[in-house]
Structure 1
């Protein structure tokens, strides 16, 4: 058998394992405060976020772990959707997204990503920058609207969050994505605490991780026939 090719039984087992993780995962509203995620397990979760895809590979995210109880309490004042999660979650994450000025084709950040991180040749940098500029101005045509530009970058952070929640579920760790917060007030707290640089970042989404305190209700979803369309 060729190296790297799994037997069919292994592939079927892996598929079942992944689907089981999706069945296990639910938006956990309250965690067991006495159960903590190990450092090794959470580093694994973060690594799946770090390795997640992003448009053009420009990674517009930053994952901020808020473990300080006093800061969590301040956040809770402006996060109605996280009132139970903030005091009980083992790990509480705020995902920041790059602001539009960092995401335009000619920014220092985009150039550093291409040169230092992606290690592209000068010719490739020039070509990729031109393609990206065209995408922002003509393809998606979003560069003229800063709000749309920011929300486009935020959408990419959800790819990383989805991967982290699935990775957590694969090892029996619960999670909850959270949008129930006042973005302006939360930003003010993060800036005042020296956590977020408002010149380069804005708040995208929150997420809590830990171990469930209560068993969830049975998962419900629309049937496949309602959500899948084949065009052949």
Structure 2
């Protein structure tokens, strides 16, 4: 195995869902900005980036979330950084939304005729290919699936930097969103909570990684 391939595998071997963090160790600003960049640069369907990253460092807010996030309680007790990833709702992700228009014109810098063609393809994709317009929840779940691409890249970037992490789904979505709304952080018309993640340094060594054999999960055709 060449050096680059080995470094990739070693990063994935290093990464685990850290259950206990060393509260005395803090991820540097430079390293954490790199982790955030890994999320920002992640791929998304049509390049429409249906996400937002909340970096929750406020202790009082963490305490409020602690009681509704059973899977994050160990992280709140020691992780250096805590992130909530939001997914955009139908109002932003439907093919004719103002958000999609802005992304194509101001971010992707597409000429009007190219934008029109892309919107038409996007409309067909949503209506016919993936049947995404049957409910608001369908579009939100589709956006949430994309946030997991960003999440995975952030976890991997952290592992390359020898920083531990933990992806978290152990929380009550309704209660977590209510707390964020009360704090004036979440605009629930446009966003919902998708997933959480913590970053820091392990307090103890993890158990040996267990996975199925490659031959059991890969079929060459």
TM-score, reference length from structure 2 = 0.98
Structure 1 equivalent of residue 156 of structure 2: 166
- Other structure's SS at 1:221 match: coil
For 1:90-139, what per-residue CA distance to the aligned partner results, in whole angstroms no more than 9, with x for missing partners? Answer: 00000001011110010000000000000001000000000000100000
Residue aligning to 1:112: 102
What does the per-residue CA deviation read over 1:54-87, in whole Å, with 9 as the maximum and x for residues that have no partner?
A: 0000000101000011110100110011111112
Q: Tell me which of 177, 183, 186 is aligned to 1:193.
A: 183
Query: 1: CA distance between counterparts of 2:137 and 2:216?
Result: 32
**Aligned counterpart for 1:62 among listed residues 29, 47, 52:** 52
* Counterpart secondary structure, 2:22: coil
* Structure 1 counterpart of 2:28: 38
Q: How far has the Cα of 1:35 moved from its partner?
A: 0.1
Name stretches of at least 5 consecutive residues in structure 2 with no aligned partner. Answer: none
Q: CA RMSD in A?
A: 0.9
Partner of 1:78: 68
Kindly indicate whether the alpha-carbon contact (under 8 Å) linking 1:72 and 1:87 is maintained by their aligned counterparts in 2: no
CA deviation after TM superposition for structure 1 residue 26, in Å: 0.2
Whether 2:165 is the aligned partner of 1:175: answer yes
More displaced stretch, 139-148 vs 112-121: 139-148
Runs of 4+ more than 6 Å apart: none
Instruction: Find the counterpart in structure 1 of residue 5 from structure 2.
Output: 15
Match of 1:139 among 108, 129, 135: 129
Partner of residue 223, structure 1: 213
Q: Does the 8 Å contact 1:69/1:87 carry over to 2? A: no
Report the Cα offset of residue 154 of structure 1. 0.3
| Residue 90, structure 1, aligned to residue 80, structure 2 | yes
Task: Give the match for residue 6 of structure 1.
Answer: none
Aligned-partner Cα distance in 1 for 2:95–2:102: 11
Instruction: Indicate yes or no: 2:204 matched with 1:214.
Output: yes
Give the secondary-structure state (helix, strand or coil) at the position aligned to 2:193: strand
Q: TM-score, normalised by structure 1?
A: 0.94
The answer for the alignment partner of 1:154 in structure 2 is 144
Deviation of the 1:194 alpha carbon: 1.3
Q: Quick one: distance in 1 between partners of 2:184 and 2:163?
A: 30
